[in-house]
Chain A
Amino acid sequence: MIGQPLPRTEDLRLLRGLGQFVDDIDLPGVAHLAAVRSPHPHARIVSISADEARKMPGVLGVYAAADIEPINGIWPVHLPHKGLRAAVERILPTDKARYVGEPVAFVVAENRYQAEDAAGQVEVDYEPLPGSGTWQRSLELGEAIHPGNPDNVAAHVVQRTGDVEASLREAPHTLRETYEIRRGGGHSMEGRAVAARYDPSLGTFTVWDATQTPHGARRMYATCYGLPEERFRVIAPADVGGGFGPKAQRYPEEMVIPWLARELGRPVKFIEDRYEHFLTCTMEHPQEHVVDIAFDDDGVILGLKDVFYSDMGAYGTSLIVPTIAGCTVPGPYRIPNLHIEFTAVFTNKVPQSAVRGAGRPQGVYVMERTIDRIADYLGLDPAEVRFRNLIQPDQFPYAVGLTFRDGSPLTYDSGDYPELLRKGLELIDYDKQRELRAERRAAGVYRGIGISVALEGVGLGPFEGATVRLETTGRATVILGAPPQGQGFQTTYAQICATYLGLDVDQIDVVTGDTAMIPYGTGTFASRVMANAGPALATAAGEVKAKLLESAAALLEAAPEDLEVSNGQVRVRGMAEGVAITEVAQASNVGRPGISMVKDMVPGLTASAYFNPERAGYSSSAQVCVVEVDAETGEVEIVEWVAGHDCGKIINPLLVEGQVLGGIAHGLSNALYEEALYEEDGTPLTVSYLDYPIPSAHEMPWIKLYSQETPSPLNPLGVKGAGEAGTLCVPAVIASAVEDALRPLGVRIRECPLSPAFIGDLVDEAKHRPDASE
């Protein structure tokens, strides 16, 4: 069962349109929330008048900050980092709006149409302030976005190992380059969604929340409402339409909905539409890296210094994205002297959060472009330069010398990077591709080859848990705190449980994301669940199996070590007769009222286990692609693409392929397509898919996948993570291939994304340079 490419049980309902996403859940009497949103990127809120709005048809209430004062306290910082300067965030701002779309009031009405009508009638008096759409402008704005941060700097963090200044001074060669990488939003096809109901008889709230972190939501409710966590049951439904990072954050609408349900005595829901997703769902903002690299005549890297700026958006509850970006830069290479420094800056845009890849694509871009630059400078083959610098398979555990986002020293657990790259080059037939490139160039076609290798920190702590129950029906229930958003937990965790418990996969039910079913959980993000919940489940299932065997042994008067589980029975190995699992479960879980259990029987065939990893593990990926660029129009055609992943032990290869392919598509969107555009003052210019392209099946080329498995020593299953693996290499590999294609024109690629207009202009500039060849 582990290792089998089983199709998913989830599909049976999803393919028939019978999924239960938050908006599908039947809540009789449910009312709808719409928000009054700031049209200004930065403005003082002078007054709010809801008199007209309250009279509109269907309106049940209009709420400004003053109306929700009991729950409108300041939020705790999500991941406190000693460098992070405090930033204010509440459900509704009391002083000013700091990004276009920030809610300043809420309207609840009988339906969404009427709620929007009324929201349009709420009168807000704003005093616009100077706003900033870029970190550069923020530093010079002369207007503090948050009190106490007059220069709009949120944090400044430096990490070093070795002596990079010395390496730069003494190296035979040094280069400096500047890179700007602009990623975008999550754009899960289901936006944010939350519904809640209050039960006055119990004083409890039930919340259905399309969130990646239900226990985190519960904790925040408890904080905002000043109530114990037990009063909140937060359920991430079995069907959530994609997450990708932004759904792991906390939001104003999410926090206010339960309170409104209690106020109004009716269920209330908020279903984010796409326009709201563009304006208010967290995303990654631009980074600009200035890199100094020291290397020798063989292309071996001696030192690397990266000083970068990270645009944080309007609020900064954590430094995850720049921290991870910085830690990702050294990647799979041996670099003894490192200096990674970043300044996180507030801007008047939606707050930043991790989006699939979480800052790693930026780090990979920087490192891989740098390697290509070294190769170009020395006239060496770029694959060869990589081989000369890659960490070798006998060097694990490998300590980089930096501290990772999880607070532990950045240490790679296992992998074989040279072999992963070698396989990719072989699969694409690198030598033949170089010949083809030469032939096509001779015919005037701009064809290029790109390479990228990347590491992905996975399986972060602190922990994740699993409960297993063997039911009297003979079926088993697995309960996980971490919820899925399409990854197939219902199937893969059934596979793990089946393996460790001895049942068939189709006898196992998996329940996820419900804070009432399992008390502690961290959540689904950062490709962490398999490496945490997998081992936890294996342990819990193993314990339940042991209890099952003990109880069965009591019934059979045998020794547990002589027993085996198969076909719904427990029997002595080699014997035909045994006892039905249902009978053992009945005896253990129920018994007979008032009557003592058989000696040595175990009461309750259930166990819970939590697994906390020592530190993050590391998956690896390598990609090689071939492109042809139409230099006249800037259009890029991908001719060949091979993508390799090493995610440790694989539970379900069919699903892992899906994760890798999906990650690649997201990476390709970042590389060539999507870009969030803003005016200078932070007013968003791209607010619909009419201006924000995400590739369809038409744009995606065929991708050849390959894999290898180097198990992780950090957990007994040897598993790592795969959710973001595909994404990390892509912006770098595409930039690498496009630059290679345009090498005859001397074009350098230092940015991301590469739209046709961007490439077209670069080519034109190159042709008009005084030193242009041809």
Chain B
Amino acid sequence: MSTLVKARIEVNGTVREVEIEPRTLLADVLREKCSSKGTHIGCEHGVCGACTVLLDGEPVRSCLTLAVQADGRSVETVESLAEPDGSLNELQSAFHRHHGLQCGYCTPGILMSLTALFRTAGSPSEGEIRDFLQGHICRCTGYQQMIEAALEVSEHAESEHAEAEPAGTEHAGTGQ
């Protein structure tokens, strides 16, 4: 057996310390040791996107990330999205109303990617939304209803922004 490594990973605001074989994937650590069963594994080669989480705010494949690479970093998973009282956030609520999910297996990854998109792009267009979802496969829905859900959130953000004071808008960089 190889030398174990330690990793200190902040998951949804809580710091977890794990000692694992270095080959252990972040997806497995999240599921097995961080009570985040919501992160699903669909392919283990980085194409289906079901395992997508936010690493320091950026969407990554947790199946293509060794847990040890997340040492000292913060991870956000689908369990972090709901409001503090447990109710659905705006994106989740839109998915619910538009029937943007069926079996729900690919959904957590898609929600995390869209969460990252909305943080950087405020009110993305349909094309931008579809581009960002290139990296996700859903076999159940055909995507159209989830695009409607995302567009609703986007349009709402746009109208909110139009009403607000014209202050400068920060766009978080995607560097690092």
Contact = CB atoms under 8 A, between A and B. Distances in A.
Do A and B associate with each other?
yes
Interface of A: 7-8, 10-12, 14-19, 21, 23-24, 57, 113, 186-190, 239-242, 244, 273-275, 485-488, 654-655, 657-658, 661-666, 688-690, 694, 696-698, 700, 702-703, 726
A189 B130 contact: no
B96 A240 contact: no
Nearest to B42: A189
Contacts of A21: 40, 105
Nearest to B50: A189
Contacts of A696: 130, 133-137, 143
A19 B99 contact: no
Nearest to B23: A113
Interface residues of B, number: 57
Contact of A273 (B40, B44, B111, B140): B44
Contact of B108 (A17, A187, A654): A17
A739 B82 CA distance: 49
Most A CB within 10 A of own CB, among B31, B37, B138, B144: B144
B106 A18 contact: no
B4 interface: no
A274 B101 contact: no
Nearest to A117: B1
Interface of B: 1, 21, 23-24, 31, 36-45, 47-48, 50, 77-79, 81-82, 86, 88, 92, 95-97, 99, 101-108, 111, 129-131, 133-147
Given A188-B103, A665-B139, A702-B144, 12 more contacts: A10-B104, A12-B96, A16-B78, A17-B77, A19-B37, A23-B31, A661-B144, A690-B45, A696-B133, A696-B135, A697-B136, A697-B138
The prevalent SS among residues of B at the interface is loop
Nearest to A242: B103
B79 A658 contact: no
B92 A665 contact: no
A242 B144 contact: no
B110 to A, nearest CB: 9
B24 A189 contact: no
A697 B47 contact: no
Contact of B141 (A57, A662, A689): A662
A697 B104 contact: no
A187 to B, nearest CB: 6
B105 A189 contact: yes
A15 B92 contact: yes
Contacts of A12: 88, 96
15 contacts: A10-B104, A16-B38, A21-B40, A189-B138, A242-B102, A486-B140, A654-B99, A657-B99, A661-B141, A664-B142, A689-B48, A696-B143, A697-B143, A700-B144, A726-B142
Given A7-B96, A17-B38, A665 B143 contact: yes
Contact of A241 (B44, B45, B103): B103
* Shortest beta-carbon contacts, A-B, top 6: A17-B38, A486-B103, A14-B104, A241-B105, A661-B142, A486-B102
Contact of B104 (A19, A666, A698, A703): A19
